[in-house]
Structure formats: structure tokens, C-alpha cells
Chains A and B, each alone.
Chain A
Amino acid sequence: MATAPSDYVFQDEFTADSTYEVGEAVSLWKDAWRRLTSNYFALFGLAVIVLLLLVAIVSQFWTPYPTWKQGIGPTYGGPSAAHPFGLDQVGRDILSRLMGGAAIALAVGLGTALLSSVIGIALGLLAGFYRGWVDTMISLLINVWYGIPDLLVVMLFVVIINSRELKWIIVAISITAWLNMARLVRGQTLALREREFVEAARSIGTRDVGLLTRHILPNALGPIIVQATYLIPAAILFEAFLSFLGLGAPPPEPSWGAMCAEGYKSLQLAAHVTLVPAFALAITLIALNAFGDGLRDALDPRMRR
């Protein structure tokens, strides 16, 4: 019965109705967004982050009073209508400084997350993809780096650079913060390079750069984003800590950590000088972590229903 088709037939003479074939497609990201928005704690985090972002942007153009101006009102003045959060030890408006501090916190958080992600991703990809001696060297670097206290690295860096400008603070924190990202990306890459679609890409003649950028990195993006959102609060906290020690952004920059440190000396006299920035810091950290957790759960395919 079988006859060789003289000319190629596209399909059988009979073609099925396609109307009912492909079901409604739900993309991973759309699905993740749905799950994220049904997680109230993560939504609270997101709301705080958006608020913070707005405040940070506004602070660049307008604050109730200049953040550096001293003697606006009574030193250690308590909250009042003109100064809702009161005044600090040199009579600066705390609300204005808090707003300026939001910008610094976000700059440090985002800047560090970005820079250390770039370092971590690059090294992680190389180690995981090429394995062998490349991996050995990078893994050795990671392990040695882990052994050196972060504070030591940052202090040495600040001393060597001899500048406490914000951008150098960001660089300093970044060179201590990329380790976890590198480990994560290395692990992801090791797993992904064995996946069949990477093998398939190799079989169609894709170069290494293409394998890394088109096939491996996009598929590791979920965990990378989650890791990066955890880097932000960690960097903010670290900068606050540095400022508290007097190693952070130089005065009169309104860093929240520096504000806490300055108010700390007069905690009993005027608690609000310390408590207000400390509270802002705490809320920010909680919000960012909540958002990170929510994002992690939302992107976890096992939570998919």
C-alpha cells in the first residue's frame, strides 16, 4: 500500500482543527508575579521599597531643610510641627537627613548589589563552565577570601584608596560581597552545562560566549535575582556599620549609620536622634528581606500550582 510520496505533503490529507489544541500559556514570570502579589508580606516589602525609592528621588531635589544645615532649631529639639522627627545634636532637621539617608542607603545597596553581582556572575560562570584549572583557581580564591574578615578588607581598601567617597565605599563593600553570588552562579552553571538544551546548542555550533550568554545565564537568572535582592540589605547594613565606626561616608553626609552613631552618645538625653534612623534602617532591612523571600518563593517552580 505504501507509496513513496512523489512530492512532499505538508501533512495528511486530514488536518485537525487547531482551535482546541494549545492551552492557555502561563509564563514563568507571569506566574511568579501572581504568586508574589498574593504574598502580603512580600507586598508590604515591595510597598516600602517603592516608598523609599520615591523619597530618595525627591530628596535629590527637595528636602524640607538642607541636610547639612546646622542650627535650624534648638539642639536636640523634640518632634514638632516644623520638625516632625525633631532635631539632632547640632540642630539639623532629622526628617531632611532621613530623606537624604534614604538616597545613600539605596545607592549603596543597589550599587553594591550590581557591582558584586557582576563580579560574582563573571567568576561563577567561568568556574562552572570551564571547570578544570579555571575552577580550581577561582574556587581557591573564593575560599581564601572567605577566610579574611570583611571588615579588614574594607578598612585596608579605604586606607589604600585614601578616600571615603560613596563610590569607593560601594567598591569596597562589593569586593567583599561577591563570594556568595560566585558560589551560587558556579553551582548553577555546573548544573546547567549538563542540561540537554546546552548540549543541543553545542551540537548546532554555538560558541562558548553564546552558550554562556544565551543559554546558561538566562536560565540561572531566577536564583541570581533572588541572591541580588539579599545583597541589597546586607550592603546597606554594612555601610551603616562602617559609618557607625566612622569609616563610612564622611560627614556631613546623612548616612543612617552615621546618624545613629552621632546620636548614640546622647541616647539618654534625646533618644529620637538615634531611634529615628535606626527605625528607618530596620524597616528597610525587613522590607527588603521580605521581598527577597517572597521573590524566592515566587520563582521556585516547586511552589507552582
Chain B
Amino acid sequence: MSEKIISKFFDIEDSHTIEIYEKHGGYETIRKVLKQWTPEQIIEEVSNANLRGLGGAGFPAGRKWSFIPKDSPKPKYLVINADESEPGTFKDRYVIDHYTHGLFEGIMIASYAIGAHKAFIYIRGEYIRQTERLVEQIEAAYEKGYLGKGIFGSKFDLDLIVHRGAGAYICGEETALLESLEGKKGWPRMKPPFPAIEGAFHSPTIVNNVETLAYVPTIIKNGADSFANLGSERNGGLRLYSISGHVKNPGVYELPMGIPLREIIYEHAGGLENGNGIKAVIPGGSSSPILTPNEIDVNMDFDSLAAIGSMLGSAGIIVMDDSTCMVRALYVVTRFYHHESCGQCTPCREGTGWAEKVLKRILDGAGRPEDVDNLVEIADNIIGNTICPLGDAAALPIQSYVKKFREEFEYHVREGKCDVKGQ
């Protein structure tokens, strides 16, 4: 059995309560931190632990915190990204449901490190039950003096506020999220300025994913090295892999950074249903370029996936067996990006719409000979020409599906039907 940090709590009854969390050593670390640690020491420890941003981009967490200007007279904010809307990703829900106070303790330590006295959890609007849980457990923490003025009897004040989104994938992107938090429509901002300099309410702000912060207490408690050593080079620790699609046991698995994808699929998720073979795998949410069966020995860390032209992203793995029609899969993915494009940049707004239309007509047996090249061209025109990375997120799947399964697309166009068994 490999080590578990967060998922240890998934099977413990009432693990979301203060009482059970404290029974397992919870809130010991923040008490120590408030007495013995300086903010700089925390940031150094988190940097040395090689904790990467687990929301998708993989930016080193400690380094991000160090960008907060020390001399700014403005208030600082910590914003916790619980928007969880990258298709194929569902891990943060488990953290919120079962490791509620572990997340809070991470939030407290991070707030202390960056000097924030107000933190906002931005949670996707559909997570109504999770919103209720957070609100109820925050109240419990206030009652105990763990939140509010002078937390744990220290001089450090911290307010924690839950902010429920209202159904827009783009609000997972950090600057769109900040606009949304400020009461506006979720249109991404141009960067720079980066949120660490000018984020929420024109003030220095750190945006971190739920899971990223949930690992912080363990890092401080056990030390940077012990966390770093659980993972691979420059990719510290464990992380929560969401796996779905045609596997026997879909779910959330907490495993080391850098574990081979094949191992997750076959050893942890039980392999494929019905003994089918693999046709393709999405390694890190629907935005990540797709992998073929001969690529699944890749190690699941940010650098290894980047090296083969894909992304670890949110570690939302979607497995497709050999009965899958790749044209249909790409159509569903592209329809999503078109639906979720905020419409601010023409290449993204028009390109995603056009690609969806082309894919639909190929699926309907009305594809034109130039359509396959058209798709690639549409994608090429989006990449690098947009304000936020959603444009690339829509274009990269188009490029990779067409490149790796071109014959299937051409067959569809030529014959007006699918040649995959079971379709």
C-alpha cells in the first residue's frame, strides 16, 4: 500500500467535522505555525516541497506566493479555486466532502504566509451540497475561534467566505474567476498585471486550487523533503487522479506524481470494462492533447507529459476503449468549448463554433473532402491568438485527435459513416 495523505480521510466516518479531523492530528500544524514560523519560512518550505499548482497549470505554489509584494499597503487576498469544471475532473469535490478542515488548515497556513486576512472559496454553482458543507463547517470553525479575530489565540485574523459561482466553465480561469467574484460577468483579464500584483479588488491576490492548498498542512508538518520525495523530480508529493470513461473502477485515486499512466489505468482503476482494448486516453482533463495506447507508459507529472506534447493539467484521466468513435468524442469536446467560450476574442468564439459545425456535419455523413484540413486550420488560427488559455484548450484537442486518428476522420468523410464496431 502506498502512502495516502488526503484520501486517508475518504473512508473515515464524519471526517469532515472538526472533532474527527483533530482526532487525526488536525489543526496541530497551524497552531505551531502561528507560534514558531515566519511567513518566509513557510514559503521556503512549500517551495522546497516542489508543490505544484494542481488546478491545471502546475505553477510552483511556493514561488507564486513569493510574488506577493511585501511593501504594499493594500489588503491581500487568498482565493481558493473550487470551480472544478475541467471535464473529467472531480477530485476537489472529494476534498471538500471529506477533508474539509484539512483544506481550511491549508487555507490558514497560506493566508498567514502571504499576509491575507480574508480568503474566498469560489465554488462552482452546481456544488450545492458542497457549498452547504463548507458553510456549516466554517461556522463551526468560527465558533471554536479557529476563524475570525485572533485565530487559535494568536494575533492573526482570518475571515473565510464561500462564494458560489453560477454555471460558467470560464470562471475556473483565475482572472475570469476574479471578475466573477467582483460581481461581473466572467471575462478573463489581460495579463499582466498578474493577480499577485493586482487581483481581487485591485489588491494583491493569490489564486490556488483546492487540492494544492489541501497538501500544505502535511508539507509543513512532515517537512519539505518528505513530501518532495513522494513524487518525481520537480513534481513533489502525491496528487488526486480522477479517472473515468471505460474503466472498471472509475474514481479518485491518490498516487505519487510521476506514476506511469498505465499503472493507474490497469492496477488502480481495474483496467477496461468488458476486457476491451484502449483506443485513446485523455491524461489531464479534456483540454489536454490525447494519447494513443503506445503513449500510456508516460509518467504522470507536468514535465513528462509536456515532453510528449500533452499536459498533466488537472489529472482528469478519461479512458476510451476501442469501440469509441473519435469523431464523436472530438465533437462532444468541441461543442463544450464552443458553449463555454466567453466570446471576448474572435478566434476563440468563431473558431470553436465553426469547428463544432464541421464536426457535426462529418458525423452526420455530410462531411466535405476539405473538412479534415479545415479543422486543423481552424485550430491553428486559434492557438496563440486569444486572451486566455481556453482558446488553446479548445484547439489542442482538435489538432491531436486529427493528427493521431486522421484515418478515422477521413473514413467518416469519404464513406459518410463510422467504421468503429459498436457504433
Our verdict on whether A and B bind, yes or no, reads no
Interface residues of A (CB under 8 A from B): none
Interface residues of B (CB under 8 A from A): none
